[in-house]
Amino acid sequence: MSLPKPGKETTVVITGASSGIGVELARGLAGRGFPLMLVARRRERLDELADQVREEHNVEVEVLPLDLADTQSRAQLADRLRSDPIGGLCNSAGFGTSGRFYELAPERESEQVTLNALALMELTRAALPGMVERGAGAVLNIASIAGFQPIPYMAVYSASKAFVLTFSEAVHEELHGTGVSVTALCPGPVPTEWAEIASAERFSIPIAQVSPHDVAEAAIAGMLAGKRSVVPGVVPKFVSTSGRYIPRSLLLPGIRIGNKLRGGPGR
């Protein structure tokens, strides 16, 4: 067992629920009957999404507007994860940056590590003891195919996603036999506002794109099945395999040169 059957005591908590994959996870899980707790900074977007899924799927939805880059906000959510009967946790909050690392704003890079890695780790830690005690539960951590190899000009982003991937796979194995799973979702380019925020449109290869809906459906299937990792899409699967096995002496110069050809920095 991993993600338990939907019921009053199987709420799924979704961070980053105001946009992109987080929105589609909310819709997909509500469509399967799961009550939801939606977490993000933007209250207006959360309220709009909550109204939609309540009307369409007749499920209970709680809205919790929090900035998970803030220590006190993370502690508030962690308290809820420890005290409430949570069936699932989707750690979807995160963002990326692009450019030469030494030219990027250090405060923004630190915030990226906090949100992409530290917050995810803390919330996973808060949710797991209760799930293990109940003998069922699923955590979904949003990694990326960027986590399979270093990405020049997205150094901190790819490093943070490598943490998410290896952390999730390790904890998943530790949970063997408990009825609880941790799944690393590793999407490729997804047409959301993420690329605009990261100024990383040049990294979005159209042939590799998978829609947010399809990514979310693959993720939910992975949670239900208790999978260790999920890579949606044929091209992203190929890229993730290449990132593991192509020698870095070839891979990294290739990424650098490709970035320059698409109008980015590089020599």
Domain boundaries, the chain: 11-261
Catalytic pick among 102, 153, 157, 245? 157
Task: Between 80 and 8, name the one with better pLDDT.
Answer: 80
pLDDT in tens, 77-105: 999 999 999 999 999 999 999 999 999 99
pLDDT at 260: 74
Confidence of residue 242 (pLDDT cuts 50, 70, 90): confident
Residue 189 has pLDDT above 80, yes or no: yes
In the chain, % of residues over pLDDT 90: 76
Minimum mean pLDDT range among 24-28, 142-146, 207-211:
207-211
Query: What is the CA angle 99-187-124, rounded to 5?
Result: 95
Question: In which residue are the tokens 């692009």 written?
Answer: 98
pLDDT at 193: 58
The mean pLDDT of the chain is: 91
**What is the distance between the alpha carbons of residues 81 and 130, in angstroms, rounded to a whole number?**
8
Tell me the CA distances in angstroms from 11 to 19, 30, 149, 184, 267, one per residue in order: 20, 10, 34, 20, 50
Q: What CATH architecture applies to the domain 11-261?
A: 3-Layer(aba) Sandwich (3.40)
Confidence of residue 194 (pLDDT cuts 50, 70, 90): low
**Number of neighbours of residue 131 by Cβ within 10 angstroms:** 26
**What is the distance between the alpha carbons of residues 110 and 51, in angstroms, rounded to a whole number?**
34
The pTM assigned to this predicted structure is 0.90
**What is the distance between the alpha carbons of residues 20 and 137, in angstroms, rounded to a whole number?**
24
Indicate if 157 belongs to the active site: yes
Residue 200 has pLDDT above 60, yes or no: no
Residue 195 has pLDDT above 80, yes or no: no
Q: Which of 66, 15, 11 is nearest to 33 (CA)?
A: 11
Confidence of residue 198 (pLDDT cuts 50, 70, 90): very low
- What is the identity of the amino acid at 126? A
